[in-house]
Structure formats: structure tokens, C-alpha cells
Structure 1
Amino acid sequence: MNDVVVEMNVDTTVYKTLLESTKAIPWKIDWETLRFTYIGPQIESLLGWSPHSWVGIDDWVERMHPDDRDRVVNFCVEQSKAGVDHEADYRALKADGSYVWIRDVVHVVRNGAGEVEALIGFMFDISERKQNEEKLLRLQRELEELSYQDGLTGIANRRLLDSVLETEWASARRSEQPLSFIMLDIDCFKQYNDHYGHLAGDDCLRRIAQILVSSIVRPRDLLARFGGEEFVLVLPETSLEAARQVAERCQAAIGDAAIPHRASDVSHLVTVSMGVATADPTDGGGQASLIEKADRLLYRAKQNGRDRIVAE
């Protein structure tokens, strides 16, 4: 018999040790008196209040953000009276006056007659989760307010290009990998619009965009409309030679599409000129210098007769 008693005491000690070693904070409230019969010592490290200061339900209510209090208390009391397990999120007051987001998961304990006898549960610190949720909500609102898609072609617009280029530049600096940038211009596009009309010109831009999209093989590469008849490609971790190969693939795909251009000074088909620039961000400078370099190389390609690629 003594052996059984010892075993039960050991089990109780083990269970208590397990409960008090978790980050979740266990607690128990007597339903008749609405007083805490137990609360885990972890409460002090999270909120700064000692376990002894949690006497009754009023302490729990008073240490809740005023904006959350009525909603949470009314909900928990209603569910508890009905004998329904439940959970609630709220901001809990810390001893230093700040707040931390808590999730309370509550189990309703009933006696043999089916009457509510006690509430037991766990408090979880969900501050990081709430911060991430709020960040995602902010991003969603920003995406709703600011479109990152070019309205005509459906590809990325200049706003998204600037954001991605800044991110990739910082990434290239950390990884010490080259970052390549291709600037592409449709040759004699003004003449195209004058000869075929602006609606046909818009259709031509859409077709070129789709051809370029099909020529990108890596998900991380970005195609964007730079403005007018200019497109750009951002190629992370790409050497100058590899970037030139991408440019050649794009040029070949546009040639294979054989889009008529009877008003061109270069060919009877639509052609493009490209400037291909590669930078090592660890050498200094900034993403603006990479764009300027590609723009200069594109200008050189056009000055040298168009329908060509200049890489440097």
C-alpha cells in the first residue's frame, strides 16, 4: 500500500514539473468561489506578476486591456456557464505597464451531476503571431492601395521593380553574388504606332511582354515594364555571360514570333535592342548605378544600328 502512495506522489511531482517547464502557463479556477487554486510560476517571467498575486477572477479581469475586457469577459463567462470549452485572445497587462498578447485556452470541468465545478486551462504568449498577423494585414492594405502590376501588359510595374531591385541589391551584397540587369527597347516603336495605330501598338507591347515572360526560366528573375516600349529584367546571382545568354534567348524568341513591322528602319519584323549590365554590389555604388549602366549600353546598341545586344 505504501508503495502505491509513493508512486502516486512521484506521478504528481512529475506532472507538476512537466507543467511548470513548458512555456504555456497552466492555471485552475474554482467555479464556486471564482478563485485561483493554481497558476504556473511561468506567469511571473511573462507578465511580471507573482503567482501569489493571482487570487481571484478579478485579478485576471483587471490585468486585461480595457478595450478587450468586456468582450473577453462576457464571452468567457457565457461559455463557462454553458459548460463549453473555449479560447480567447486578449492583451494582458504586464507589471511594467506594457501589454502582451495572450491566448487563453479553457476547459470546463463538471462534477458527477453535470454541474460546472472548475475551469482549467493554459495561457499562451501569442505576441509574435499577432505581430506577424498585423504585418500581413498592413501589407495586404498596401497591396490594395498600390498596384504592382502594369495595367497594359500585366507584368510588374516600375514600383515593384524598384522594390525588388532594392531587395536583390541588398541580398547580393550579403551573398557576394553578381546582380545582372537587362534593359530592352523595341526598335522604331514610334513608327510602329504611326503605321499600325496605337491599339495595335498596345497589342504589340502585350505580345512582347508575354514572349519575355516565357523566356524567363527562374522564378526569382523579374520582368518589368520600365516605361513606354522599354522592359527590364532583374537577374539575381547571374554573371555577365549568363545574363547575355538570357538576352540572346529573349531576342531569339521575339524573332521567332515574327511580328510584322513594315515601318521599321531595321527589319520588316519587330526587333529589340538591349543593354546588359552586371554589378558586384560589394564594390559599392547602388542599384541606380546599375540601371544607368544598362541604359548607357542600350543607347550604344541603338546607336550602333539597333537589333543588337551590348553587354558589359
Structure 2
Amino acid sequence: MTFAVLIHGLAANMGVAIAAAFGLSLILATEAERPAWATRVLTGITFGAAAILCMALAVEVRQGLLFDIRSAVLILSALFGGPVVAAVATAMAMAFRATLGGDSLILPLASLAATGLISSAAWFWGARASGPLRVPTFLYLGCAQALLTLATTYVRYPVEVYALTAPLYAVALPGAAGLVGWLLSQQVAAAAAMTDLRSAHASLGASEQRFRHLAANISDVVAVHRLDSTLVYVTPSIEKVLGHRPQDVTGRSALSLIEPRDVAHIEDVIRRLATSPPDTAMHLEVRLRHADGRWVWMESAMRLLDEADGPVVLVASRDITERRLVMDRLAAARAELDRLAHTDSLTGIGNRRRFDEALEHEWRRAERWTVPLTLMIVDVDCFKLFNDTYGHLAGDECLRQVAQAINLTFTRPGDCVARYGGEEFAVLLPGMGLDAARKLGERLRAAIEAMAIPHAANSAAGVVTASIGVAVAFDPGSVPVQACPADLVRTADALLYAAKRGGRNRTVVGASALTGRVVDDAPQEDKRLAVVRAYRQAGALAPSQALDDVARLAAQLFGTPVGLVSIVQEDTQVFAGRQGLDVDQTSREVSFCAHVIESDDPMVIPDATRDPRFAANPLVTAPAGIRFYAGAPLISPIGGERLGALCVIDRVGRPELTTGEKELLAALATMAVERLEAQRCGRGAMALPAAAA
């Protein structure tokens, strides 16, 4: 055998192994098209065919001794395909070798089987070729196979043959295993990279398809614009939300779609985003123009992104028009509820709650800045008699006209006009001093009288009139300044009381803090006191069982511990009939009943501690003091003068009386007057003084 023949045969074997390597790369490149088991079987067949070709192209070293690299091919089949591939390739090689026959057939077959087993064991130990660094593995296994082959050669052939073939196997098998193994590892790596690339490409295509589908179907509008607001991308959903096609707005300024009043705010947000840390998101609500011209409310989240060609702003916007409409309707409903809660349903002006809140607020402001604060309390004169004469519907209309007159008189934005209760109105005038308050109070009184609403029971004028008490706090001329809002109310109420006692249809103005009642010996009070003296001189005011019975009946009917028939005199109030009370008189200064005689309707105080007129009253602040009070005036048939009150008292707060309960209280007051008249006439009626006639 010549050296050239040997090299030629070795080259042919190497060519077969290399062809197997390329076949493996083709199989791996298309493995996604077939099941995994089919790929393994096909790989095994490829390597088995290569081993068979190597045996067919074997070089005859001497008579009966052939040389090839079938073992290297089987090693590589196990390392790159695993036990299944090695089993298929080894089985094919052993079958072919068996067909060749020859002496000692068992030994070469055993050698092939051992090669497959050793290579498979190496695969199980993790020696799978995955790159150039696995080349030593091929060399080691090639060396192992060379030793195995040399051992079989030593057994089968003489020493001189062994000496000839030992160098050949020692070099050829490791070299072939290492070279072809390296080539196969490169092919496998390339096939794996190609598979990963195809997978990534398929995944990218699927992701792009999903993105396009999402962009076309989501309800949100996603847009990208540069820092100068030029739009570079808009999702197709803009056509569904705003009626614009993406191609019509791309390249335009995003600000052209924004409501002009929101533009400055958007520009400020973009400037702040440009200087904010990465991943900063800013949220805002803006109005965008729809293609049909209407404005659509959008809730937007803006985020700055750094891209290769410069920073851009990513904007995700959601249509919140329906939500804003609902919010606007809720706000309008809340405003309407608030208005109703602060509006008197009869007159349309503010109610007591509105007045109380305004008084507390304006008092703090006046106290903080030391500016005047004026309070007017307006009371329609003889209103109960008006209702009795003309009916309650006419009375309601009368109150509406008086409220309108007050509204027309006080038109400043900060003025508060409210119905205080019954026929009483309150006017709060921030910043108004004593002189201006006096002029406006008189103007209001004259305006009410000038309406000329007929009132036959108002004998002094024949038309509806009003009495007004005007108190001013924090006025430079006020001595001293009131300590709290309740003091201002007490002062205005006392001044109203003075106007009533002065003959009604008049305005009384004051600025000092009030510690007692206003003393005013006006003719009207003289006339009332003259009638009271007439009853006293007739002995009608002396305590009697008849009046005690009326007081007891009132206490029983209303479930209170105290019932009284009270007569208000010049400095005291005496109890002509009483139930549940030991004393027979108190000072007029602290009298609740003294307030009742200024009205034609019953006066009810659910909780005296919460009423600014009585909260500081000694009868309230004392232990077990008065909490609930309800009284109806005792109206004498002599000139309609009010002698005092029929009242019930409790030491715990109670709810407001119903209309029926107020009528019952007034009926009991009428019963008490009848008893007083019986006592006055039974003891012999006196000639009334001229003042009372």
C-alpha cells in the first residue's frame, strides 16, 4: 500500500463525514417542520449512512486489514443526536458490517456496539457539542476509540501489523473526530442561531400583528409627538373617538386639536416633562376638537421617551366625556341641593341655615380685619292679625312681597337676606357702618309701607308695615364691641323689641353690646301697660285656681313639667297661673314671655342653648335650666293688647311643634284670656284709662 493510496482513502472517509455534517445542518434547519422523533431518526439514518460509506471506502492496509473512520462518525452521531440517533446509526453500521462477513465477525461488531455505548454515555454526562470549546471532547473520545481499535487489532493480527496500524489509528481517529466534530458544532450552532432568528422573527411578526390589532381596536387614543408638538404617530382609534383619520393629523401640531384655553397648560406640562427624571408620567384632563366641531373631554397620561432621533412625548388618552357630563350633572345637582338647603321655599330668599352660616363667616372676617358688620332684624307688624283677617294664603303672599322689597333694597354681592323665622327677616350687611345702616333701615321701612298692602287690623297705618332693629358690630363708634355673633343677634333683637314697644313701623339703631333690655317709654308700651294695670286693679291677675287649671292642662297636654300663665309688667313678669313652679314672678330682663308679646304667633324654642337670643340667659345657664320653651300670646279683647303668654317649659330639648300643636297652644292661651276676663268682670270692671281706651 502506498502512502498516496492511504491519504486518498482517508480523504474519502473525511469527505463522507463532512457530508454527514452538512446533512445534519439541513435536518436541523428544517426540524420545525416535523416531529422531534422524526428528526432524531432522520439524523440517525444520516450518520448510519455515513458510517456505511466510510466502511465502503475503507483503505486496505494489508491483506485482510481495512482502515476507515466509521467509529468517528458513530461518536459524532451520539454527541450531536443523543442515544436514539447513536442507536440508529450503530444498528445500520453493524448490519452493514455483518453483511460483509469475514473471520472473527463478533469482534468488529462488538467494537461498533462499544463505540455507540461509550458515545451515548458521554452524551448523558453532558458532553454534547455546542461550540468550538467542545472540540476536546471529540479528541478524547477519538483517542478512546483509537485505543479500542488498537486493542482489537492487537488481538486479531500479528505484532508487525499492529506496529504498522498503531500510528495510523492514533492519529487518524482523534484527528477525524476533532475536525469533523468542530465542523458539526459550527453547523449546529449556525442552525440553532437560524432557528432562534426565525423564532424571533415569527414572534416579532406576531407581536407586530397583535400591536396593529390592538391599535386598531382599543378605545384609547395613543399618540407620539415631538417636543414641538408635531404628531409623528397616532393609533387608528382616533377616527372612532375624534372622527379624524390618522393620516390627516400626522405631521400636524397636536395643539391644533386642543381647546385654546387648555393650550397654555399643555405647553407647561411638556416643558416640565422635558426637565423631569426618566419615566415621569403626568396626568391631565383636556378638551380635544372632534371632526364635527364639538369638544371631547379626554383624560391623558404623558410620558417622555428618548429615541434615536430625539426625545418624543408618548400620550395615552381616554374619552371621559360621559364621565365629565355625569360629574357636571352631579355638581349641578349638589349645587341645586345646596341652594334648596339654604333657600326659604316660600319667599325664595335665604333661610335660617343660610343666615347662620353667613353670620359665622362674616363675623370672623369682620373680627380679623376690624371692619363694621351690620345686622337688621325685620318683623312684619301684627302679622297674626293679618292672617286671621285675610287668610294664610294672603299672608304667604304678603311675606313674599316683603321679601322682594328687602331684596330690592340690599343688592350688594356680599349682602345676605334671609327669612329668620315666621314673619321675621334678617339682613346681614358686611362692611356697613352705623350711619349707612340707619339710612338703609329707614329706606327699607318706607319701601315696605309704600307697597300699601291693605292691613285693616294694623290700626296705626291701615297697611302692612314693619319694625326694624339694626345692630352694628366693630363700628368705630361702637362702645363696646360685641364678643360673639350671638351678642350681635341679641342686640338686634332687643332693638327690634324697642321698635315694637315704640309704636311699630319704625327703625331703631344701636351699636353697643346689650346686657339688658332696651328701655324705651314709647306710647305703644304705655298703652299696653295701661291695659295690664286695668286687669291688675280689677284683681284679675291675682293667682287663681281657674288659671292654675289652665296651666296644669297645658303641661299635661304637652307632657312638660312646667305650665305657666304669665303676665308681663313693666319690670317683672308675674305668674297668674302655674304648674310645676314654686316662684310667682321673675325679672322682665330674663323673661322669655317678654319676647312672645311682640308677635302674633306662638314662639317655640326647641333648645334655648342653641338660640343666640337666650343662650346666655341666666334661666338657661343655671343648673337644670330652661331648654325647651313654647308660648302663645295672651291677646286681650281690650285694644288687642298682649298681656303676657301661656307657655310650657321643659328642662330638656324637644323637637319643633307641629302646626296642630301650635294651634292647640294658641287655643289654651285664648282659654286663659277668657278666665282673666271672667275674673276682671266678676270683680267689677273698672273704667279704662284714656291711654287704654
> Aligned residue for 1:242?
436
1:269 Cα offset (Å): 0.7
- Aligned mate of 2:500, from 302, 306, 312: 302
**What one-letter code is carried by the residue in structure 2 that aligns with 1:24?**
V
> 2:364 & 2:433 partners in 1: Cα distance?
17
1:175 aligned partner: 369
- Provide the C-alpha distance between the structure 2 equivalents of 1:296 and 1:283, rounded to a whole number of angstroms: 16
Does residue 120 in structure 1 map to residue 313 in structure 2?
Answer: yes
The reply on whether 1:208 has 2:208 as its aligned counterpart is: no
Residue equivalent to 1:217: 411
% identical aligned pairs = 41
Aligned partners of 2:499 and 2:507 also within 8 Å: yes
Higher relative contact order (CA 8 A, sep 6+): 1
For 2:341, what is the secondary structure of its paired residue? coil
* 1:104 Cα offset (Å): 2.6
Output the CA distance in 2 between the equivalents of 1:170 and 1:253.
31
State the secondary structure of the residue aligned to 2:334.
Answer: helix
2:302 to 88, 104, 128: 104
Q: Give the conservation status (yes or no) of the 8 Å contact 1:88–1:104.
A: no
> In 2, Cα distance between the equivalents of 1:140 and 1:287?
32
8 Å contact 1:262–1:268 — kept in the other structure? yes
The amino acid across from 2:364 in the alignment is A
Task: Provide the TM-score with structure 1 as the length reference.
Answer: 0.59
By how many angstroms is 1:106 displaced?
Answer: 9.0
| Structure 2 CA distance for partners of 1:139 and 1:176, relative to 1, 3 Å | farther
- Which residue pairs with 1:252 in the alignment? 446
CA contact (8 A) 1:221 1:234 kept: yes
CA shift for structure 1 position 266 = 2.5
CA RMSD of aligned residues (A): 3.8
Match of 2:269 among 24, 46, 54: 24
Contact kept, 8 Å, 1:179 with 1:238, in 2: the verdict is yes
In 2, distance between residues paired with 1:40 and 1:106?
A: 7
Q: 1:284 to 1:295 in 2, by over 3 A?
A: closer
User: What SS class does the counterpart of residue 218 from structure 1 fall into?
Assistant: coil
Corresponding pairs, count:
215
Distance 1:265 1:105, change over 3 A: farther
2:276 to 37, 42, 55: 42
Q: Does the CA contact (< 8 Å) of 2:378 and 2:468 recur in 1?
A: yes
Rg: which structure is higher?
Answer: 2
Counterpart Cα distance in 2 of 1:142 and 1:301: 38
| Equivalent residue, structure 1, for 2:422 | 228
Give the aligned partner of residue 460 of structure 2: 266
Give the C-alpha shift of residue 177 in structure 1: 0.5
Distance 2:453 2:503 in 1: 19
> Is the 8 Å Cα contact of residues 279 and 290 (structure 1) preserved in structure 2?
yes
Encode CA deviations 1:192-219: one digit per residue, 9 max, x unaligned.
Answer: 0000000000000001111111111322
Equivalent position of 2:299 in the other structure: 88
The answer to whether the aligner puts 1:144 opposite 2:337 as a matched pair is yes
How many angstroms does 1:167 deviate by?
Answer: 1.5
1:291 and 1:208 mapped to 2: Cα distance? Answer: 21
**8 Å CA contact 2:387, 2:395 repeated in 1:** yes
What is the SS of the residue equivalent to 1:24? helix
Contact 2:442 2:506 in 1 (8 A): no
Q: How far apart are 1:120 and its partner, in Å? A: 1.6
Q: Are the equivalent residues in 2 in contact too, given 1:156–1:225 (CA < 8 A)?
A: yes
Q: 1:284 to 1:259 in 2, by over 3 A?
A: closer
Q: Distance in 1 between matches of 2:412 and 2:299?
A: 44
Distance change >3 Å, CA 138–CA 197, structure 1 → 2: same
* Cα distance in 1 between the residues matched to 2:304 and 2:462: 75
Alignment partners' CA distance in 2, 1:280 and 1:24:
48
In the alignment, the residues of structure 1 paired with residue 304 and residue 337 of structure 2 have an alpha-carbon distance, to the nearest angstrom, of 37
Query: Which structure's residues are more often helix, by fraction?
Result: 2
Q: Distance in 2 between matches of 1:87 and 1:294?
A: 54
Matching residue of 1:75: none
**2:360 alignment partner, one of 166, 169, 186:** 166
Secondary structure of the structure 2 residue equivalent to 1:310:
strand
More strand by share: 1
> Alpha-carbon deviation of 1:225?
0.4
8 Å Cα contact 1:188/1:265 also seen in 2: no
Task: Give the Cα separation in 1 of the matches to 2:466 and 2:342.
Answer: 25
Structure 1 unaligned blocks of 5 or more: 1-14, 16-21, 28-38, 44-50, 65-85, 90-102, 112-116, 124-133
- 1:118 deviates by 9.0
Structure 2: distance between partners of 1:283 and 1:105: 59
Tell me whether 278-287 or 297-306 shows the greater mean CA deviation: 278-287
In 2: Cα distance, 1:151 partner to 1:286 partner: 29
Distance 1:105 1:224 in 2: 52
CA spacing shift, 1:198–1:87, aligned 2, 3 Å: closer
Q: Match for 1:250: what amino acid?
A: L
